[in-house]
Amino acid sequence: MSNNALQFQEYEYAMPQPNAERIRQSIVYKLIFILGIDPKDATPENWLNAAMFAARDLMTESFLHTRRAHESQRKRMVYYLSMEFLMGRAFTNALINQNLYEPFAQAFKELGLDLGEISEHEADPGLGNGGLGRLAACFLDSLATLRIPAMGYGIRYQYGMFKQEIVDGQQVEKPDLWLDNDMAWQFSRPNKRFLVHFGGHCVHFDGKVTWQPAEQISAIAYDEIVPGFGAQVANPLRLWTAHTGDLFDLSKFNRGDYFAAMEQQQKNENIANVLYPNDDTNEGKVLRLKQEYFLVSASVQDIIDRHLCRFPNIKTLADEVAIHLNDTHPVLAIPELMRVLMDEHHLPFDEAWAMCQKIFSYTNHTLMSEALEKWSVNLMLNLLPRHLDIIYKINSVFLEQVKASGYDDDFVRRVSIIVDEHDGQQVRMAWLAVIASHKINGVAKLHSDLMVSSLFADFAKLFPERFTNVTNGVTPRRWIAVANPPLAALLDKYLETSDWRIHLDKLVKLNEFSGSLQVQQEFADVKRAAKVRLADYVERELGIKISPDALFDVQIKRIHAYKRQSMNILHIVHRYFQILDNPNADWQARVFILAGKAASAYHEAKHTIRLINDVAKVINNDSRVRDLIKVVFIPNYSVSLAQLIIPAADLSEQISLAGKEASGTSNMKFALNGALTIGTLDGANVEIHERVGDEHSFIFGNTVEQVEALYARGYNPYEFVDNDPDLRRVFHAIANGHFSPEETSRYSALMHNGDHFQRYADFRAYVDTQLKVDAHYRDQAAWRKSAIINIANMGYFSSDRSIEDYCRDIWYIKPLTEQELPNNGRG
Ligand SMILES: *Cc1c(COP(=O)(O)O)cnc(C)c1O
């Protein structure tokens, strides 16, 4: 009998069944026999771990069925390569996606425990910086839910994003050892092991090139299970760890230099040690390049192995496989695949290149020059000589074609992958991505248009058909069902279906109820409960009392000059002064909530955090403002904090300088949870505003065209400061130490920094628009109606829609049908 005939059902006696009693038994069994802990001694973490093992058993069935379907159906597959996956906590999400939340809650109740409380003990793995990594996580959720044959590839950093503490108002970074807590969720795959090489030189012999590397290291896989909603499909997220094992620096070992070889081993194991904590900047560090190559080399080898298991011939690879590059970080996959096809499978350059151009697609995430990856030719020559060779060849073939099409020398120079800079020749990774990919997409309509008209304008002339848009989305499973169960219940009731979780367009029916006082009241109750929950957290963690009756005004995201948290502060300080001037006016009480991490070497961003905390200290302790303003900086922003904060927000601050935020996704999460947006015409704000309408959102500030015109005529910040007495007052107060009396020059540089992101130009429009927000909020019925209309019109911003766009327009991938999967749905 072939193993294939084995049915999982035969093992049913050993499987926990999805009823509370069997789940309770399973949890206790795991606690005792997997973790070796006596129930009388078990801590909440122990119970959580035991429950995660029990839940994993149930998911594993979908996981293995999905694998069988991938093998037997042989459908074209997409591989999503990303240096970051910001998954958030897995447990509650898995229970909800597998329709197991209720029986687990019941099982815990019978054990005298509370599931909600226990799940708060899960570590939140921060394997990403911000939006880009969270997008990858939302996409994995949608890929599994939509039954797309797909797999994610990333790095299993031992230390993810640092833990942020605030000490004396300043950010302090602490290592985040997330692996200590989380073993249940990942299957280790010691037999999925690939060698990754570095350094050495190329040998040319008999018309063939071979790479003789100097170092090698193993990549070993861990598979995290990504359960789709409805319990039919669970896809793997394959994360690589670095391991030298019995392999050492070859040259040193051969020279008999045992100790140096061991030292090198230590260094190599550093490869997967730590996530680079940079968002929208590029550092150009050797270890980062090694990490990038480590990811793509292991993944490309695995992809080819998997192909050759399903199909007899490497030549059909491009028919069966799509590889997606999340930003330029995994772009080395292009020369790596070329190298494997040419050097190991002996395909000629032209054939390998044609295959690559069918296989790869690339998402651009930023137009800002400081974020565009360039690697020095010298560094590449040392670390990846064969890949540099291949990049040169790709470039020369490409440039010959460009010349042959009649373009002038200047144009040819501009589109060259290799560029001369003051510090030597550089490889432009975005150029390589564009030249090798059949599709290149931006992440919101505005961003995709700007991408074609600015950064890639030359390439858009050469390959207009390659450029497209896929507006980002977020998963309603995590961002409503997991983060905001009371809102989910309200939607179930008024939409009369639970289907909105997978057909978010169904929210549109809520428009019919926006005027209903009954629905408005129920929405207000849901919002208030979330505000109370957040207020409790803030009091418990920070000792600050905030009133849930105040308007919660929230800006949570990475701290970055272009996102303009400091413009938010300008408004807060302005409002503070106005209240002191007119204490008896009819002020709307507000709580300003900010959170976000600053890259550890980004001094301006760190100063901004300090300014927020200094301003908070002065205002929160000034009895004259009573409770009209509170300012709260919540430390250690993460996915789990976002899930706590976003449901509680009344107002969503999306105030980046127009043209700088590629899409934004927190703007979508907020609107989906019934917050109104105050924002610029930037990124996806434009499309949110289009759908929600002018009456129900607050758009202000210069447009991209106006911003460009200001830059073009020579932007002078003092022109705006000098001409607006309110701004002048706020500006001088901060710059001269009103909020930092112990060090009056502390914020002088932050205020006098040339204002590259035009805070002062948008100040007046911003503060005027904030008055409109107050007026709207004063009419509670009108505000609640607007909030409901926001939710109703967010259907488009489901990551399911984004993934459908990718499948149709970029990857040419079809989902598994229900018939192609063994029927094990618990949905
Ligand atoms: C959604 C999300 C982001 C992205 O926020 P933006 O405001 O779009 O930049 C960043 N970090 C976390 C934890 C998120 O959940």
Nearest to 621 by CA among 526, 698, 726, 544: 544
The catalytically annotated residue of 197, 501, 557, 689 is: 557
Say how many Å lie between the CA of residue 793 and the centre of ligand 1. 20
173 token code pair: 């970074």
Q: Are 580 and 626 in contact (CB under 8 A)?
A: no
Taken in order 557, 558, 559, 561, is the CA torsion positive or negative? negative
pLDDT score of 265: 67
Report whether 607 contacts 561 (CB < 8 A).
Answer: no
Ligand 1 pocket residue status of 130, Cβ below 6 Å: yes
> In this structure, what is the dihedral angle of CA atoms 310, 316, 321, 325, given to the nearest 10 degrees?
140
Mutate to test the pocket of ligand 1, among 84, 665, 799 (most ligand atoms within 8 A of CB): 665
- CA 272 to centroid of chain Cα atoms: 19
**Other residues' Cβ atoms within 10 Å of the Cβ of residue 654:** 27
Ligand 1 centre and the CA of 440: distance in Å?
A: 23
Question: How far, in Å, CA of 352 to CA of 396, rounded?
Answer: 16
Report if pTM > 0.75: yes
Question: How many angstroms separate the CA atoms of 589 and 242, rounded?
Answer: 52
Q: How far is the CA of 668 from the centre of ligand 1 (A)?
A: 10
Q: What is the pLDDT of residue 6?
A: 65
Please tell me if the CB atom of residue 472 comes closer than 6 angstroms to any atom of ligand 1. no
In CATH terms, are 74-88+124-471+809-820 and 477-714+758-797 the same topology? Answer: yes
Q: Which residue has the tokens 């039919």?
A: 232
Cα(6) to centroid(ligand 1), Å: 44
- Tell me if residue 285 is catalytic: no
Write the residue with the smallest CA distance to atom 4 of ligand 1: 131
Q: What's the pLDDT score for residue 196?
A: 97
pLDDT single digits (tens) 793-806? 999 999 999 999 99
Q: For ligand 1, is residue 365 a contact (CB within 6 Å)? A: no
In the chain, domain spans = 13-73+103-123, 74-88+124-471+809-820, 477-714+758-797
Q: Whose CA is nearest to atom 15 of ligand 1?
A: 639
The residue whose CA is least distant from atom 8 of ligand 1 is 664
Out of 56, 558, 590, 606, which one is annotated catalytic? 558
Q: What is the pLDDT of residue 274?
A: 93
pLDDT of residue 231: 77
CB proximity list for 52: less than 8 A, separation 6 or greater: 90, 91, 122, 184, 185
Q: Is 329 in the active site?
A: no
Distance of alpha carbon 7 from alpha carbon 68, whole angstroms: 11
Below-50 pLDDT ranges, the chain:
1-2, 825-827
Which helix (H) or strand (E) segment holds residue 566: the answer is: helix 565-581
CATH fold label, 74-88+124-471+809-820: Rossmann fold (3.40.50)
Torsion of CA 135, 136, 137, 142, to 10 degrees: 90
N- to C-terminal Cα separation, the chain: 32
In tens, the pLDDT along 103-124 reads 999 999 999 999 999 999 999 9
477-714+758-797: CATH class: alpha beta
Kindly tell me the sign of the dihedral angle through the C-alpha atoms of 254, 256, 262, 264. negative
| Tokens 């949608």 belong to residue | 142
Closest CA relative to residue 661, chosen from 576, 757, 592, 594: 757
The preferred substitution site among 84, 134, 667, 688 for testing ligand 1, maximizing ligand atoms within 8 Å of CB, is 134
